[in-house]
Structure 1
Amino acid sequence: MMIPGVYMALITFPGVIVHEFAHQLFCRLCGVAIFDVKYFQMADPVGYVQHEPAKKPIHQLLISVGPFIVNNILALALAFPAAIPVFMFNDGSPFDFLLLYLALSIAMHAFPSTTDAKVMWDAIWHGKDTPLWLKIITVPITGLIYAGAMGSVIWLDLVYGMGVAFGLPILIIKFFSQLL
């Protein structure tokens, strides 16, 4: 079943908002001026952060991959307390299920967009004074971003989100319960 991206984004809008917030956060941390932010809209793109070019190539890398860092950490932090009653005791409250929905929607939008990848690639590979190590690590990061974008047509973003929001908390809980 094909659901147009804008409708999937409407269902998972918290993830879109956090994704754009993460870009904005890393712009601020790197001292990059922001011109415009749209956290969510019913159009393509569903959200964006327009900013000046980063002065340092590493800053562009951080701005581009910011959602991967922020969305994954926040999704896991939201899912973890809800996963214990829901998955370990089959006794979740409506609030637990709300937390799991938020975690899933946020994790689903952790991957940077292909636009993020293109801006990062251009800034790092065509920028002045980019260190070789940064160019080298940009290659697999860009490849993963494009693979994630291609995989979204077969619901890879949903599978990834479920892994972060449901699978990872379960694995962590089981790991520590065996230690006790």
Structure 2
Amino acid sequence: MLIPGIAISIATCPGVVVHELAHQLFCRLFKIPVFQVVYFQVGNPAGFVLHEIPPYKWQTILIAVGPFLVNTILGALIALPAALPVFTLNNANFLHYVLIWLGVSIAMHAFPSTGDAREIWNEIRKKDTQPIIKLIGYPLTGLIYLGSLGSMIWLDLIYGIAVAVAIPNLIIHWLA
């Protein structure tokens, strides 16, 4: 079954918004000027943040992977209060299912985009890049592209479900 990317973006728009907010958050943390932010739009890309090139290459990497950290943590935390009623007690209400959807939606947009990978690639290829940054940046860029390919077989959805369903369930069972 083929579902157009635009339909997925609309159905999971909270994840797109949080993804772009995470880029913007990391820009703000590093005091990198932001020129334009589109949190969500129907089309490709579904959102973006245009910012000045950071003075340090490690900042470029962290701005690019910021959504992975933020979306993963937020997706799990949002779904956590709903996990017990939905998956263990079987007494969930509509709000619980909304929280699970939000958690999955946010977590499935955790993967950095190919545009993020391009930014990292362009910075680490420069002559003045320290070897440790290259050692981190090259494999990271490859992983981002692999994740992008994986989205064709629903890797992003699988990740979203793992973060928003499996992790809260593990926490509940661990605490029980």
Normalising TM by the smaller chain, what interval? over 0.9
- Rounded to whole Å, the distance in 2 between the matches of 1:140 and 1:88 is 39
Q: Does 1:174 align with 2:173?
A: yes
Aligned-pair RMSD on alpha carbons? 1.1
State the distance in 2 between where 1:176 and 1:138 align: 37
Deviation at 1:167, TM superposition (A): 0.7
CA deviation vs aligned residue, 1:132-172 (integer Å, no higher than 9, x gap): 11211112221221111001111111111000000111112
Mapped partners of 2:150, 2:46: distance in 1 = 19
Q: Distance in 2 between matches of 1:143 and 1:80?
A: 31
Is 1:57–1:127's contact at 8 Å kept on the other side of the alignment? no
Partner of 1:20: 20
1:41 is aligned to 2:44: no
Structure 2 residue runs of 5 or longer lacking an equivalent are none
**Structure 1: where are the runs of 5+ without partners?**
none
Deviates more, 1:131-140 or 1:113-122: 131-140
Q: Which amino acid aligns with 1:33?
A: P
Give the paired residue count: 176
User: 1:124: Cα distance to partner?
Assistant: 2.2
Letter matched to residue 77 of structure 1: L
1:5-24, Cα deviation, whole Å (9 max, x unpaired): 11110000000000000001
Q: Which residue of 2 aligns with 1:144?
A: 143
- SS state at 1:86 partner: helix
Give how far 1:127 is off.
Answer: 5.8
**TM-score between both structures, scaled by the size of structure 1:** 0.94
Alignment TM-score, normalising by the size of structure 2: 0.96
**Moved beyond 3 Å, runs of 4+:** none
> In the aligned structure 1, how far is the partner of 2:39 from the partner of 2:98?
21
SS in 1 for 2:168: helix
- 2:58 maps to which residue? 58
Alignment of 1:152-171 (within 5 A): 152-171=151-170
Mapped partners of 2:95, 2:140: distance in 1: 35
